């Protein structure tokens, strides 16, 4: 008959064996569960990425910041179009009123300059001037500067839009160039008849007679000089200087009657 001590030893052995079997079945070994990092490992579970994202590196001076996955704010709006100019030949049909037989320059020597100009409405527009082929570069150079300065021009179409009537074109504040006509108050050809003169914003820059009067009522308030108004040409200003650099004269410097709108190559 076993003694009491033997029974205790047997029961202890059975308990140890049962404990080991239970531990094995419950997975309490030293091997980590799948998906957990082993000691020293840097692998990260998707859940950890979502909870603790790695901060984006900041840009160092002189370097661009890394692109963001989210789109930035809408881009800033673009500015007005750049100045453009196109010089093309003209036909007799394009000059039904401004040219006629006997004019001092043939149609073949004239050119149409289609170019950008800045309007009084603070917007870009496209206008047309008919000039002599020898001055097309001058015209493009000056009007490119005016556009860059945002110096406004009211309107720019060939005088044929007014059937060649200089008075009507001026009354409409139209900037124009070629027109086969004599000089004001003279029987001699104007430089306009050669395509080598241009009238700019004639309302804001009127022809002033010797007695100080003007022919156009809408121009009376623009007689005074200097005058700080849009589209006005003043003595010695940048518009005058831009033409002078290219050998053009300003009618505002004439003695007696002054033609503030008028620029010409070679005078007259």
User: Which of the 8 DSSP states describes residue 229?
Assistant: -
Q: Is 72 exposed, middle or buried (0-12, 13-18, 19+ CB in 10 A)?
A: exposed
pLDDT tens per residue across span 125-146: 999 999 999 999 999 999 999 9
User: Which of the 8 DSSP states describes residue 216?
Assistant: -
Distance CA 209, CA 150 (A): 30
Q: What is the pLDDT of residue 267?
A: 72
The region, left, alpha or beta by phi > 0 then psi within -120 to 50, assigned to residue 92 is alpha
Q: Are 263 and 242 in contact (CB under 8 A)?
A: no
- Residue 90 burial (CB count, 10 A): 22
Q: What is the pTM of this model?
A: 0.70
Burial 119-133 (b: 16+ CB within 10 A, else e): beeeebbebbbbbbe
- Closest by CA position to 104, among listed 197, 163, 198, 192: 192
Q: What is the pLDDT of residue 40?
A: 40
Tens of each residue's pLDDT in the chain, 268 residues: 444 444 344 344 444 444 433 344 444 444 433 444 444 443 333 333 333 444 443 433 333 333 333 333 444 467 899 999 999 999 999 999 999 999 999 999 999 999 999 999 999 999 999 999 999 999 999 999 999 999 999 999 999 999 999 999 999 999 999 999 998 777 889 999 999 999 999 999 999 999 999 999 999 999 999 999 999 999 999 999 999 999 999 999 999 899 999 999 987 7
């Amino acid at each position: 008959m076993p003694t009491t001590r033997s029974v205790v030893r047997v029961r202890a052995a059975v308990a140890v064996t049962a404990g080991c079997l239970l531990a094995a079945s419950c997975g309490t070994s030293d091997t980590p569960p799948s998906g957990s990092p082993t000691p020293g490992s840097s692998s990260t579970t998707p859940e950890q990425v979502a909870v603790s994202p790695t901060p984006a590196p900041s840009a160092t001076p002189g370097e661009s910041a890394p692109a963001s996955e989210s789109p930035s704010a809408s881009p800033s709006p673009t500015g007005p179009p750049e100045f453009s100019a196109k010089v093309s030949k003209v036909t007799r049909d394009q000059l039904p009123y401004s040219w006629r037989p006997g004019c001092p320059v043939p149609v073949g020597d004239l050119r149409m300059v289609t170019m950008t100009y800045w309007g009084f409405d603070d917007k870009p527009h496209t206008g047309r001037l008919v000039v002599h082929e020898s001055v097309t570069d001058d015209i493009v150079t000056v009007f490119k500067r005016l556009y860059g300065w945002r110096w406004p021009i009211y309107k720019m179409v060939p005088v044929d839009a007014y059937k060649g009537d200089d008075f009507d074109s001026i009354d409409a504040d139209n900037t124009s160039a070629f027109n086969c006509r004599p000089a004001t108050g003279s029987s001699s050809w104007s430089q306009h008849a050669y395509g080598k003169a241009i009238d700019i914003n004639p309302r804001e820059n009127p022809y002033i007679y010797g007695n100080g009067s003007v022919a156009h009522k809408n121009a009376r308030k623009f007689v005074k000089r200097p005058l700080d108004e849009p589209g006005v040409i003043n003595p010695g200003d940048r518009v005058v200087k831009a033409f002078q650099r290219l050998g053009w004269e300003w009618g505002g410097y004439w003695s007696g009657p002054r033609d503030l709108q008028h620029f010409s190559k070679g005078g007259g």
